[in-house]
Amino acid sequence: MNDLDESIIRFCLLHEEGHIRLWYYMGIYPIVAIYLIWLILHGIEIIFLIIAAVLGIIFCRQLQLLEEYRSDEFASNELKQKYSVSKPSEILESALKMYPITQGIYGIPLTGIE
């Protein structure tokens, strides 16, 4: 925590607030689970069940990545509007550079938010 400055902490807290305000993507997980249970109860062949499960996982993961991006976008907009930060992306990059595992996860560049 010693390496974190106030702007990084503010960005992280605003990012988490973005998750709370944009929670609507999380509702898809129970829907996918219910669909898979419905397939099981209706005796769908195992190969089709596996395909449906894999597609459901891929779909949910893509929504999760979109939610992360939208939370970053929310934090970025809040920093611009409320704290007069001209380039929030620099704060995000400096925060993520502290944790190399987060850099470019799944090929998503970190500079997409200005």
Per-residue pLDDT at 24: 62
Model confidence at 1, in pLDDT bands (50, 70, 90)? very low
Rounded (10°) angle between helices 6-21 and 46-83 = 130
Mean pLDDT for 7-25 is 84
Q: What is the Cα gyration radius of the chain?
A: 18
What is the pTM (predicted TM-score) of this model? 0.66
Does the pLDDT value for residue 102 go beyond 60? no
- The identity of residue 76, as a single letter, is S
pLDDT digits (tens, 9 = 90+) for 44-88: 888 888 888 888 888 888 888 888 888 889 999 999 999 888 888
